[in-house]
Amino acid sequence: MKQRRFLVLEDGSCYPGYAFGSEKDAIGEIVFNTGMTGYQETLSDPSYTGQIITFTYPLIGNYGINEDDFEGVHPGLKGMVVHELAEHPSNFRCTKTLDVALKEFDVPGIYGVDTRSITKKIRNAGVMRGTMVKNADNLDEIVASLKAYELPVDEIQMNSTKEIKKYAGEGPRVVLLDFGFKDNILAELLKRGCEVILAPWNTSAEEVLAFNPDGIMLSNGPGDPTSVPEAIETIKQLIAQENLPMFGICLGHQLISLAGGATTYKMKFGHRGANHPVKDLATGKISLTSQNHGYAVNEDSLSETDLVATHRALNDGTNEGVKHKTKPVFSVQYHPEAAPGPHDANYLFDHFVDMMKAVQGGKQHA
């Protein structure tokens, strides 16, 4: 027998549907994702910590869940909203249904709702708080509690590794500062033979340099980039080093920009999906990209810094990349590891490795 569940938004909207996944209630920031596939990578992406995801694609769960495509060990999302839930998936790698996976992760879901209406509402009004409840008879009380709910500000600390982890490789040594990294970022570095040292978000510049790295990778992550001023100061000190390549992805892009003196802002509804066109300002080339962010770099603020814009979103003109004028430092707002998503931007990892090899010279590692 189907169990009723209600999705309530802070503007008073109430969407009746049916429950799947965990039986618990949920509260968080409601956002939408436009990807046609990749729900497994999406639900396990640390950048969704604290959020309820609405999928615009109507059928979700049709190829089930496998053991290989998770992007994080402990999903941080608060809930999932779908129009039609596939209860009988079909795929040779499938080991369980989406319903079973969400039960295991203790994440509630709701299906049978008008996801198009929800998406249009978010596009018009912007992201807002939402909650999933079993009973919505006391709607006024639910809305009042939603408006009083304070969104978390420690998402980065929640997701970052707590200890140093080392991954062997014969190539350049990379310190990967973890703000909530996706597994495929690490996989792309290892695929290219890099030795990787995964370090907590608050590792100091002195500690990073003690590893004698050939390059620094700044990972993606959830939340407001201005919430970690100590990390911004660390990045500023690392950028000041001579010939130390640095590559930032998503949140890492925003942190490089803040460290360089630019500013960021919260977007109305963000970019979340695997089909966002981005223009390379130097070549004019257009790439389709995978994105997941609710904050952006204010491109006008770059004029007073040593950073220049390199990429721009075609849909709304927002900044999608920067590079330093004199240092081997660059970053992009989108996800070149593309899990899920197109592989148009995967070459950026090769560019980073080539950059490290160019400055590595005869450098010896301990």
Is 337 catalytic? The answer is yes
Is residue 317 marked as binding?
no
What's the CA gap between 287 and 152, in Å, rounded? 33
Say if residue 176 carries a ligand binding annotation: no
Catalytic annotation, pick one of 71, 155, 299, 337: 337
> Is residue 35 part of an annotated ligand binding site?
no
User: 117-156 burial by CB neighbour count: b if 16+ within 10 A, else e?
Assistant: ebbebbeeeebbbbbbbeebeeeeebbeebeeeeebeebb
Is 294 annotated as ligand-binding? Answer: yes
The answer to whether the annotation marks 223 as part of a ligand binding site is yes
Name the residue among 46, 184, 71, 62 with its Cα closest to residue 111. Answer: 62
Confirm whether residue 295 is marked as ligand binding: yes
- Please name the residue that has the structure tokens 């939402």: 130
164-202: b (≥16 Cβ within 10 Å) or e: eeeeebebbbbbbbbbbbbbbbbebbbebebbbbbbbbe
Pick the catalytic residue: 29, 71, 250, 293?
Answer: 250
Please choose, from the candidates 255, 29, 239, 259, the residue with its C-alpha nearest in 3D space to the C-alpha of residue 156: 255
Please, which residues have CB within 8 angstroms of residue 164's CB and are 6 or more apart in sequence?
A: 197, 198, 199, 200
254 is in an annotated binding site: yes
Q: Is the dihedral of CA 49, 97, 20, 275 positive or negative?
A: positive
Is residue 261 part of an annotated ligand binding site?
no
Beta bridge partners of 53: 31, 80
> Is 75:44 a contact under the CB 8 Å cutoff?
yes
Determine whether 84 is an active site residue: no
**What are the CA-CA distances from residue 240 to residues 188, 231, 233, 245, 315 (Å)?**
26, 14, 11, 11, 34
**Catalytic entry in 271, 276, 311, 335:** 335
Q: Is 250 in the active site?
A: yes
Q: Which residues are documented as binding site for L-glutamine?
A: 47, 221, 223, 251, 254, 292, 294-295
Q: Which residues are documented as binding site?
A: 47, 221, 223, 251, 254, 292, 294-295
Catalytically active residues are 250, 335, 337
